[in-house]
Structure 1
Amino acid sequence: MKFSANLGFLWADRPLPDAIRAAKAVGFDAVECHWPYDVPAEETRSVLDETGLAMLGLNTRRGDVEAGDNGLSALCHRREEARAAIDEALAYARVTGSSAVHVMAGKSRGTASKSTFVDNLAYACEQAKEITILIEPLNPHNAPDYYLNSTGLAAEIIAEVNAPNLKMMFDCYHVQIIEGDVTRRLETLLPIIGHIQIASVPDRGVPDHGELDYSYVLKRIHELGWDRPIGVEYLPDEGEQPDMLWIARHR
């Protein structure tokens, strides 16, 4: 089994180029990130070429974080900002060779929000047919009032947009907190899943303890035929380097 280091959490105290090198040094198979925009895309691409690691994905900007924004694409009154964020992310992905962009919905509710999100996702899918567009259900503890708050809603939206390059990011940590029944949901939703991420529940730490038995979950993912890297998106203890021992057990 292959693993991708999420550099939004792992080596987050280092500049992105150094974090990519650190992921390579300890044996990760790929990397992914949250918001890499402070580093020029050409510089990121250079380090990816240097290390031989692929960038699996990145997020659209959240908006005005200090004002509480957590994405823009389901916000009816901010369509232009949302599409500018999509364009920016797609441009960065093209330069870096990133295979996916996570379009963040934001804090919103209602049918108008759904229509806005669907329209913006259709725009993203049309603008980048060679890139996978991802949407991710987020749990209400870590992302209060986030519009996309269940796998069922994500599946509805994917069906409504009806674009071959729109997929779900299935974060086992978020899904366990929202709904549970993780492996059955993986089995059912696998045809529309574009990326899988893991962390322990409920502390979002190393995925070797807590409510989910990843020895079983990862074995089931392998049995389902998943052969792409699993995203490792956990919060290391303060001052500690990412623990790789558990990964060695699952390879």
Structure 2
Amino acid sequence: MPKFCANLTWLFTELPFLERFEAAKEAGFEAVEVLFPYDVNAQDIVNELGKHELQMALINCPPPNYTGGDQGFAAVPGLEERFKKDFGRALRYARTLGARHLHIMSGVAEGPEAKETYLNNLRWAAAEAPTQSLTIEPINTETMPGYFLNDFDLGRAIVTAIDAPNLRLQFDTFHAAKITGDVLGTWAATRDITTHVQIAQMPDRGEPDQGEIDYPAFFADLDAQDYQGWVAGEYTPRTTTVDGLGWITDT
């Protein structure tokens, strides 16, 4: 069975943020991820992780939360210095929290100059933090209009071009379904460069149970390939988080 972790930005939101760590542990999770933890004192998060013996699987870069604002800057020409500053802050948080992965968001951009900017920034980041696992994630343009990294072939091209051991792909099944319509096929084509997985069902982005994506087959693929990374539940619970966790015990 895959190793599941809880995305505390999406799950247990019926509780105050710092109480979600205990709830995740009580639900059986051994790891959590938080998309944008920067509005919370890092030591408070470290305390919760330690108290409940949880690992931090992933956080996002850049800070602060992108809601209502920019969705990253890594591919945006002219914002290279802002990217470096934001990356530095995110890296400090990642190290303090012991985050296994730091996801670098490309932002809204297009064209050859954006691609060159993205390559240069990622190459710099990989060299700046050689011991930190960095990820990039293809995100569908319905969810994030204009997002630069919106294609899995482009994701492979970027990872291949950077050719750094600490830069890999982050595979989100919901975005894969939106982008290609073929989650299992897209996984087969990208699993060799993937280091982190996130899951949600189509079309409602709810629990990974009934719906369009064949999760028993997907989880069987992960097991057959001995995938050792985390599989994060990044979905909107249809009722309460705990009431919707049957998909784990049914796996």
Q: TM-score scaled to structure 2, two decimals?
A: 0.94
CA deviation after TM superposition for structure 1 residue 64, in Å: 8.5
Can you list the C-alpha shifts for 1:45-94, whole angstroms capped at 9, x where unaligned? Answer: 11111111100110013668576411111110211111111111110010
Return the offset for 1:25. Answer: 1.1
CA contact (8 A) 1:62 1:106 kept: no
Please tell me whether the aligned partners of residues 54 and 98 of structure 1 are also in contact (alpha carbons under 8 angstroms): yes
Query: Taking every aligned residue pair, what percent have the same amino acid on both sides?
Result: 35
Could you say which residue in structure 2 is the equivalent of 1:12? 13
Distance in structure 2 (CA, Å) of the matches to 1:60 and 1:14: 24
Please state whether the residue corresponding to 2:250 is helix, strand or coil. Answer: helix
d(CA) in 2 for partners of 1:54, 1:63: 22
| Matched residue, 2:223 | 222
Residue type of the partner of 1:151? F
Distance (Å, rounded) in 2 between the aligned partners of 1:117 and 1:29: 33
User: SS at the partner of 1:118?
Assistant: helix
Match of 2:79 in 1: 78
Q: Which residue of 2 aligns with 1:115?
A: 116
**Secondary structure at the counterpart of residue 170 of structure 1:** strand
Structure 2 unaligned residues grouped into runs of 5+: none
In the TM superposition, residue 224 of structure 1 has moved relative to its aligned partner by: 1.2
Amino acid at match of 1:241: T
Paired residues, what number? 249
- Offset at 1:29? 2.1
Aligned to 1:249: 250
**Runs of 4 or more consecutive aligned structure 1 residues displaced over 6 Å after TM superposition:** none
Matched position secondary structure for 2:79: helix
Structure-2 residue corresponding to 1:211: 212
State the TM-score, normalizing by the size of structure 1: 0.94
Aligned residue in 1 for 2:40: 39
| SS in structure 2 at match of 1:77 | coil
Name the CA shift for 1:13/1:74 in 2 (closer, same or farther; >3 Å): farther
Give yes or no for contact 2:5–2:30 (8 Å, CA) kept in 1: yes
Q: Is the 8 A contact 1:197 1:230 kept in 2?
A: yes
1:176 maps to 177
Q: CA deviation at 1:115?
A: 0.9
